[in-house]
Chains A and B, each alone.
Chain A
Amino acid sequence: AQSVTQPDIHITVSEGASLELRCNYSYGATPYLFWYVQSPGQGLQLLLKYFSGDTLVQGIKGFEAEFKRSQSSFNLRKPSVHWSDAAEYFCAVHDPTGGGNKLTFGTGTQLKVEL
């Protein structure tokens, strides 16, 4: 069964600093990959997704992610974090051969931004 690992439960960065959130997946083929963000008490907002093609994906709010097949990773990055980026971030994968678009989520990374 496919799985998603987000090794960092909590991350704290200073405003203006760069950010990298890690995501590793376990799956035989290349799955579809997603990053979502959740603010407290809210639903999930899609930041970006990777299906195929260019391995560096640009998303909303200045985020980008890079798919590295050799490392089974899809890390999320942002060059300069804003205080409003404080939220919970979820990496998710979808098995494109599974006959449906069910997502498997990682456990999430809570981002705190220090002013």
Chain B
Amino acid sequence: GAVVSQHPSWVICKSGTSVKIECRSLDFQATTMFWYRQFPKQSLMLMATSNEGSKATYEQGVEKDKFLINHASLTLSTLTVTSAHPEDSSFYICSASRDRVTDTQYFGPGTRLTVL
């Protein structure tokens, strides 16, 4: 149990376009979902935390208008990279947890975004 999927697994887009990445908890209801960004050979950087039905909480330095997060249901959160530029190219990973205090975060397989 506790499987998290992401779609797409990789995407290539032109500069200036928007890209949507989906994160789904397949066999549990996720009260909270997290979005991370990972640069090559580096650790994960938390971008934002989203709770179902409420606005996402963004980490300092993360542009809210650039990275739009929607947590529309207990099993789906989406990250939209708006007007993507080459510097947005990265590995984006989501995670989900059942409750807000004690539960473990279960991670998706990640999405490789390349902006040309």
Contact = CB atoms under 8 A, between A and B. Distances in A.
B110 A101 contact: no
Nearest to A6: B43
A44 B93 contact: yes
Interface residues of A, number: 23
A10 B59 CA distance: 29
A44 B100 contact: no
A51 B41 CA distance: 28
Given A44-B93, A96-B101, A102 B46 contact: yes
A42 B112 CA distance: 10
Contacts of A36: 107
Nearest to B105: A103
Interface stretch (A17-25, A62-70, A73-81, A104-112): A104-112
A28 interface: no
Given A34-B104, A101-B105, A106-B43, 11 more contacts: A36-B107, A41-B110, A41-B112, A43-B93, A43-B107, A46-B104, A99-B101, A100-B100, A100-B101, A101-B99, A107-B42
